[in-house]
Amino acid sequence: MDEPAPALVELRGVNKHFGDLHVLRDIDLTVRKGEVLVVIGPSGSGKSTLCRAINRLETVDDGEILVDGSPIPAEGKALARLRTEVGMVFQSFNLFAHKTVLDNVTLGPRKVRGASRKDAEEEALTLLRRVGVENQARKMPAQLSGGQQQRVAIARALAMHPKVMLFDEPTSALDPEMVQEVLDAMVALAKEGMTMIVVTHEMGFARKAADRVVFMADGQIVEESDPDTFFTAPTSSRAKDFLSKILVH
Amino acid sequence: MSEFLDILKHYDVLGAFWVNIQLTFWGALLALVIGTVLAVMRISPLSSLRWAGATYVNIVRNTPLTVIMTFLVLAVWTQLKISLAHDFALNFFLFAVVGLGVYHAAFVCEAIRSGVNTVPAGQAEAARAIGLPFLAAARIVVLPQAFRGAVAPLGNTLIALLKNSTVAVAASVATESSGAMKTMIEFRPDYLWPIFLTFAVGFVVLVIPIGLATTGLSRRLAVTR
């Protein structure tokens, strides 16, 4: 047996409230380097909040979140630096609407890492080719399909050379026929060894690429197992109930 | 008709309008700079900056422009002896520009803020997620889109500023059009209506293109999402 890879993202006793709502309850979670973690659960279970807390788009009330061994900074330059190490892909893509696809991908490297335009564009085109949208580089985001936009968003996040990638329901806003092209790009990324935390209901992806599935309900981690066990033999009644709803229509 | 020609021949009506146009240009420039800074303060993550921005807007927006202009000349210049230029007329002109700028900055700020509201929150989140600090995210991602969404309200502010530039007469800029009109009526009460109509129509002619241009621009610049 190999020695387990070092922990890249650690949550220890994390709690968060939105007013009276306790959205994250005593979350303890460790994601190791190279691991692909799928977070699944009913809406309102806190899975998106969990994902967003890891690059501090949401603050937490107490507990600790560590990325690569150090606690995430509260604000300022240190926080900005942390965010370059944590790539984020949103449900609604959030490509910069006033910039071309190429500029979307080069913005971070140029303005944050100080790369030259030439180097940034060269790398951006490589990344866009990797996700299959290189020929759209000069277009504006609104001219692309949802699936293409989301693949550009993946390339934009990768351009910062993140240590871990967060995906917050990356296929939920897509038309059904575009889901697969985005999942394919994500599977490819997983195979290359990227550490990923993916909030999704896509079982196909979980089965193909995930090392571990975490099931959340009411702000708590209810169940944690490998994908096959989770989908075929869930132990908690909440997970069984949830799976029966998403599997049988 | 001959009355109008007579007026235009004997008085420098175009010169008077030209003063208003210059006041408007420099006033708008100043208002845009201060207003943008205020808008950034009002959307910043620091509560003290947000408070300062809101306080400025609420005080200045609710103070009559004539009060600001009169204060600048009678208090700042006469009493505090602060001069903006050696030349007498230029000094008053600059005070008028400052008055127009600081006053309309409050409106520019609110126009830009309404533009910021047209930018989805996800744009700023995506900017922060790739590691842009607040100011860079505002400058590169949020404000360029906010300005496009704010063209129409900014146009309205510019129209108000052009008309309000006549308040410069309260800062002793006697050469601008309402000051010129006052002089003309004093000397030619027989031309009462032609004089009034000359200035009224003059402003309409200046304002309508601004309205048309901003409507056109806001359509053309709109960000497609």
Domain ranges, ordered by start, for chain B: 2-221
Query: Which residues sit opposite A10 in a β-bridge?
Result: A30, A66
Q: How many residues does chain B have?
A: 225
Q: What is the pLDDT of residues A129-138, one digit of tens each?
A: 999 999 999 9
- Chain B residues in contact with A112 by the CB 8 A cut-off are 130-132, 136
Is the pLDDT score of B110 beyond 70?
yes
d(CA B194, CA B181): 11
Grade residue B189 by pLDDT with cuts at 50, 70 and 90.
confident
pLDDT score of B170: 83
- Put simply, the answer to whether B123 touches A96 (Cβ < 8 Å) is yes
CA distance, residue B53 to nearest chain A CA (Å): 21
Q: A129 or A81, which is more confident?
A: A129
A221 touches A207 (CB < 8 A): no
- Put simply, the answer to whether B126 touches A81 (Cβ < 8 Å) is no
Grade residue A2 by pLDDT with cuts at 50, 70 and 90.
low
B186 touches B174 (CB < 8 A): no
Q: How far apart are the first and last CA of chain B?
A: 53
**Nearest chain B alpha carbon to A108:** B130
- Chain B residues in contact with A84 by the CB 8 A cut-off are 130-131
State chain A's mean pLDDT as an integer.
92
Grade residue B50 by pLDDT with cuts at 50, 70 and 90.
very high
Tokens for B121, please give them: 């929150």
From the list B120, B131, B224, the residue facing A108 with the nearest CB is B131
Residues of B within an 8 Å Cβ radius of A? 45, 120, 122-123, 125-133, 136, 140-141, 144-145, 148, 223-225
**Nearest chain A alpha carbon to B139:** A111
Q: What is the pLDDT of residues A102-119, one digit of tens each?
A: 999 999 999 999 999 999
The tally of CA atoms less than 13 A away on the side-chain side of residue A75 is: 4
- Cα–Cα distances (Å) from A113 to A119, B8, B225, in that order, read 11, 62, 28
d(CA A227, CA A208): 9
Q: How many pairs of residues across A and B have Cβ atoms under 8 Å apart?
A: 71
State chain B's mean pLDDT as an integer.
93
pLDDT score of A201: 85
d(CA A235, CA A217): 14
Hey, what amino acid is at A14?
A: V
Q: What is the pLDDT of residues B198-220, one digit of tens each?
A: 999 999 999 999 999 999 999 99
DSSP result, B61-114: HTS-HHHHHHHIIIIIIIIT---S-SSHHHHHHHHHHHHHHHHHHHHHHHHHHH
d(CA A78, CA A135): 36
**Nearest chain A alpha carbon to B137:** A111
d(CA B221, CA B206): 23
* Helical packing angle, B192-221 and B177-187, nearest 10°: 160
From the list A81, A94, A160, the residue facing B122 with the nearest CB is A94
pLDDT score of A248: 63
- Chain A residues in contact with B222 by the CB 8 A cut-off are none
Tokens for A134, please give them: 């290189």
d(CA A7, CA A67): 8
Which residue of A111, A158, A164, A172 is the best one to mutate when testing the B interface, meaning the one whose CB has the most B CBs within 10 A? A111
Which of A54-58, A65-69, A74-78, B193-197 has the least mean pLDDT?
A74-78
From the list A140, A142, A160, the residue facing B130 with the nearest CB is A160
- Report yes or no: A66 at the B interface, CB cutoff 8 Å: no
Is the pLDDT score of B5 beyond 60?
yes
Q: What is the pLDDT of residues A204-230, one digit of tens each?
A: 899 889 999 999 999 999 999 999 999
- Put simply, the answer to whether A94 touches B125 (Cβ < 8 Å) is yes
Q: A76 or B147, which is more confident?
A: B147
pLDDT score of B205: 95
Average pLDDT over residues A15-26: 93
- Cα–Cα distances (Å) from B218 to A29, A230, B67, B193, in that order, read 49, 53, 33, 37
- Put simply, the answer to whether B131 touches A142 (Cβ < 8 Å) is no
Tokens for A98, please give them: 């006033």
- Put simply, the answer to whether A80 touches B148 (Cβ < 8 Å) is no
Is the pLDDT score of A1 beyond 60?
no
Whether the predicted model's global pTM rises above the 0.90 cut: no
Report the phi/psi class of residue A193: left, alpha or beta, with left for phi > 0 and alpha for psi in -120 to 50.
left
- Report yes or no: A81 at the B interface, CB cutoff 8 Å: yes
B98 touches B71 (CB < 8 A): no
B171 touches B72 (CB < 8 A): yes
Tokens for A202, please give them: 């896509």
Q: A197 or B80, which is more confident?
A: A197
- Put simply, the answer to whether A98 touches B131 (Cβ < 8 Å) is no
d(CA B92, CA B168): 8
- Report yes or no: A55 at the B interface, CB cutoff 8 Å: yes
d(CA A223, CA A210): 15
Q: What is the pLDDT of residues B126-178, one digit of tens each?
A: 999 999 999 999 999 999 999 999 999 999 999 999 999 999 888 888 888 98
Its ipTM equals 0.90
- Chain B residues in contact with A94 by the CB 8 A cut-off are 120, 122-123, 125-126
- Chain B residues in contact with A157 by the CB 8 A cut-off are 129-130
Tokens for B86, please give them: 């050696």
Please say whether the dihedral angle defined by the alpha carbons of residues B173, B174, B175 and B178, taken in this order, is positive or negative. Answer: positive
Which residue of B130, B134, B135 is the best one to mutate when testing the A interface, meaning the one whose CB has the most A CBs within 10 A? B130
pLDDT score of B76: 85
- Is CATH 1.25.40.90 what the domain over B2-221 is classified as, yes or no? no
Is the pLDDT score of B113 beyond 90?
yes
Q: How many residues does chain A have?
A: 249
Hey, what amino acid is at B43?
A: I
- Put simply, the answer to whether A112 touches B132 (Cβ < 8 Å) is yes
d(CA A161, CA A168): 19
pLDDT score of A187: 92
Grade residue A249 by pLDDT with cuts at 50, 70 and 90.
low
Sheet holding A7-18, edge to edge: A21-32, A7-18, A62-67, A70-71
Other CB atoms within a 10 A radius of the CB of residue B155 amount to 19
**Nearest chain A alpha carbon to B148:** A98
A150 touches B121 (CB < 8 A): no
